[in-house]
Amino acid sequence: MRARLWLSAAALAALGACATPPADKLARPDALTPTEQFAIEVQPSPLELKLATHPQGISPTQAQALRDFFSRWSDGERGAITIKAPEHGPDPQAAYRTATDVRDFLIAQGVAGPDVRIVGYEAGGNAAAPILVGFMRYEALGPQCGQEWENLEKVSQNRPFSQFGCALTANMAAQIADPSDLLKPRPSEPADATRRETVLEKYRLGTLTAAQREQQAVASPSSGTQ
Element at 205 (helix H, strand E): helix 193-205
Domains parsed from the chain with CATH numbers: 45-138 (3.30.1330.60)
Contact 43/121 with Cβ under 8 angstroms? no
d(CA 142, CA 168): 9
d(CA 161, CA 154): 9
pTM for the whole thing? 0.58
- Stretches in the chain below the pLDDT threshold 70: 1-32, 34, 213-226
Tens of pLDDT along 94-130?
999 999 999 999 999 999 999 999 999 999 999 999 9
